[in-house]
Chains A and B, each alone.
Chain A
């Protein structure tokens, strides 16, 4: 999985490859990080600009996929902290444990409406600590623990532990999933 990159690709070509292959993932990330549609558009644009600028420094020491996810998540993290700071408050993110222990009635059952279910999933992610968001989103993107570890900087054991909690969390929040329920 992931685009193959040779040393001759220019910044523009790399950016084009990145957006062709990972454009949908970037859109999902922006949706999961920012609830406000206008701010989300700005965030997605920031991700694209940072991605294009960063491609000039891409040296192939990690896979293009890892690079793209790192840029996107780090830009989004900056965005989250900037938004929190502009409100003059300190972030009150939920840890995975706190999110697990909260069993809000409206979150217990997955709605029959797919958009509503997706909205709830995004809302859940938006309440988490940025690092936990990175893990949960990378997990939903089907990345393996080693890749998640490279992106987040957490140890593989730590990633596995978080994934275990994330599974529990999602099972608690969306217990009646399944294709029919979706």
Chain B
């Protein structure tokens, strides 16, 4: 391709990489091991947090005599279990290999993955709303006689839960999912390629 860039932009561009920072093979291997260890650690911490969260609500089953609080606690544990099961069993689809996949397919796959995350989250937050509210109301009933002011706190907390779990999070995720779908549609329209499946990709040259 003939160089028809405005003057010496290309020379300027090439100068930008005059002092490349590279990694030695040992550094690459060590860094890879460190990243894998960090990923495993992150998964363990996430699992532990969810278990602790579920355990605290499970414990409330024995702590509070109120039926609503017990049902709320038990349902919270079930929903946590569902989220944990989903994150373990329904793993995210394997990302396309960066070397074997062209930029367009890879970009589209990344957009689809992000859209699917937001789609998944757009209504799953609602699952937590019912258990939380039941638990709140149950706890409120237990302490209402000794501390009447707790009713106000429960009302405020329920309103907050409704605003966050029924409106803000679902709407935000739904909007984001729709926006990512629009980006995918725009990408398809611009590339004139439509949906690209990995197995249907054109063979490498």
Contacts and interface: CB of A to CB of B under 8 A. Distances in A.
Interface of A: 12, 15-16, 19, 23-28, 31, 41, 44-45, 48-50, 52-54, 57-58, 61-62, 66-67, 70-71, 73-75, 77-78, 81, 85, 88, 90-91, 95, 114, 117-118, 121-122, 130-131, 134, 139-146, 150-155, 158, 163, 167, 170-171, 174-175, 177-179, 181-182
A88 B14 contact: no
Given A48-B28, A153-B102, A167 B5 contact: yes
Contacts of B107: 74, 77, 130-131
Given A70-B98, A74-B99, A118-B13, 18 more contacts: A15-B28, A24-B20, A26-B17, A31-B17, A44-B21, A45-B23, A54-B97, A61-B204, A70-B99, A71-B98, A114-B15, A142-B3, A146-B205, A151-B103, A152-B102, A153-B193, A153-B201, A155-B192
Contact of B103 (A49, A77, A143): A77
B12 A24 contact: no
B114 A121 contact: no
Contacts, number: 183
B24 to A, nearest CB: 9
A132 B110 CA distance: 16
Nearest to A56: B99
Interface string B1-25: 1011111111111111111111101
A90 B176 contact: yes
26 contacts: A15-B28, A16-B25, A24-B18, A27-B16, A27-B19, A27-B20, A49-B31, A52-B28, A52-B29, A57-B100, A70-B98, A70-B100, A71-B99, A74-B103, A74-B107, A81-B110, A95-B190, A118-B16, A131-B190, A131-B191, A139-B1, A152-B104, A153-B191, A177-B6, A178-B8, A179-B11
Task: Identify the 7 closest CB pairs spanning chains A and B, nearest first.
Answer: A153-B102, A24-B17, A177-B7, A153-B104, A74-B98, A23-B20, A90-B179
Interface string B172-205: 1000100110010001001111001000011111
Interface residues of B, number: 61
B20 A26 contact: yes
A52 B19 CA distance: 20
A143 B104 CA distance: 17
Nearest to B201: A153
Contacts of A121: 9, 12-13
B28 A66 contact: no
A93 B172 CA distance: 20
A22 B11 CA distance: 16
A90 B15 CA distance: 33
B1 A130 contact: no
B35 interface: yes
Contact of A174 (B9, B96, B190, B203): B9
Given A49-B35, A90-B180, A130-B103, A150 B25 contact: no
A124 to B, nearest CB: 11
B13 A28 contact: yes
Contacts of A150: 102, 204-205
A48 B166 CA distance: 43
Contact of A27 (B21, B98, B201): B21
Contacts of B114: 81, 85
